[in-house]
Structure 1
Amino acid sequence: MKLVVVSAGLSVPSSTRLLADRLAAAVDRIAPAEVQVVEVRDLAVEIAHHLTSGFPGRALAAAQDAVARADALIVVTPVFSASYSGLFKSFFDVLDKDALVGKPVLIAATGGSARHSLVLDHALRPLFSYLRAVVVPTGVYAASEDWGAEGLDRRIERAAGELAALLPGDRPEPDSARSAKARDAFEVVPFAQQLAALSPTGAPAA
């Protein structure tokens, strides 16, 4: 199972990459995966050339192929002007129009203030819905004050569990699924039939 992480952080080190790594690690703990990270920052020049010429460079073509072949994506962007970064959007602009159809995607973002958390539902979710991806219910936003807070860890684990549930492969079933199977396997025997089994003649008791 292949998980591709698209990180659009610009600095080194990057809080965007840190969040991406924590999300990938959380998914891998639940559903072991081959994780590949695409650093969009490293592809900036090739993305610009592709937008003007229509031809991807070698590194960009490899990233496009990795995304197309992935079983699922984690995408993380810094927030610029209350939306995803232009470089982040440009990367998805140069993908094949059908590359994300039906693909599970976990969306996440980083920013300096909690006020920008709406970027998940006002920008990222509509973008990937338009690309016909399957976006997991929980998005993860990390403001500066969230690092080290318990709330961020809980959101990461919840989102990772939702993405892992959509991935191929054998994983332990949740308790609810096991209970449902147990109910389906339970055989209901009519009371008269039970009495007949206890009777020496095999006939129902009067």
Structure 2
Amino acid sequence: MNILLLSGSTIGSKTRIAMEHCYKQLKQHSPESEITFIDLADYQLQFSDGRHYLDYDGDTAHVTQSIMNADIIMIGSPIFQASIPGTLKNVFDLLPTDGLRDKVISMIITAGSSKHYLVPMIQLKPILTYMKGSVVDDYVFIEEKDYHLKEIVNDDVFLRIDRLIDDTITQYDALQYTKEKEVEKYGF
């Protein structure tokens, strides 16, 4: 199983902190899996200009090919101005329309207040399902009050991340089972 953790912003630290915890938990939960952590703050991506994702080079090629090779993608995203960051939207624009087909996608969202709780369902989930991703229904929402001095201080956040990891892998296993049954039934 190839798991990609994608921290979808070029600024701030809270999303990265949550994704680093998720990475550590995944390493323990699924040591046989290949787990990659990409923080967009560490990359210089080109803006999407309509080319096929394989026609890009450098950091853009690395990020898009990592996404296309993943079986599971756990997306971490802050909410800025009641929306996902433009950097993350650009990543989706770089991919083919069905670029998330047969991939299980889950979300860890950080925000300054509870007012942004529905943004992932209203903005991010429609993009992911349009691109044919199999999106885990629940997601982890972490508020400003759950952090102190660049640390998560709310133990419930850790429990929710652990549950999200379990739900994500369970959904992946179910998707694999369904695909195997289709191959048995239809021969492809």
TM-score (norm: length of structure 1): 0.72
- The answer to whether residue 104 in structure 2 is matched with residue 104 in structure 1 is yes
Shift of 1:118: 1.4
Shift of 1:56: 1.7
1:125 is aligned to 125
SS at match of 1:5: strand
Percent identity between matched residues is: 24
Contact 2:10 2:42 in 1 (8 A): no
From 149, 153, 164, the counterpart of 2:154: 149
For 1:108, the aligned partner's letter is: I
> Please, what is the CA RMSD of the aligned residues?
2.0
2:179 is aligned to none
2:49 is aligned to 51
Q: How does 1:194-205 map to 2 (within 5 A)?
A: none
Corresponding pairs, count: 165
> Any unmatched runs of 5+ in structure 1?
169-206
2:2 is aligned to 2
For 1:166, the aligned partner's letter is: Q
Shift of 1:88: 0.6
For 2:155 and 2:68, locate their aligned partners in 1 and report how far apart those are by CA, in whole Å: 34
The one-character-per-residue Cα deviations of 1:53-93 (angstroms, maximum 9, x if unpaired) are: 77523221121111111111011111111111111111111
For 1:9 and 1:78, locate their aligned partners in 2 and report how far apart those are by CA, in whole Å: 7
- Over alpha carbons, which structure has the higher Rg? 1
Q: How does 1:19-168 map to 2 (within 5 A)?
A: 19-32=18-31, 33-44=33-44, 46-48=45-47, 50-51=48-49, 55-146=55-146, 147-167=152-172
> Any unmatched runs of 5+ in structure 2?
147-151, 174-188
- The answer to whether residue 10 in structure 2 is matched with residue 15 in structure 1 is no
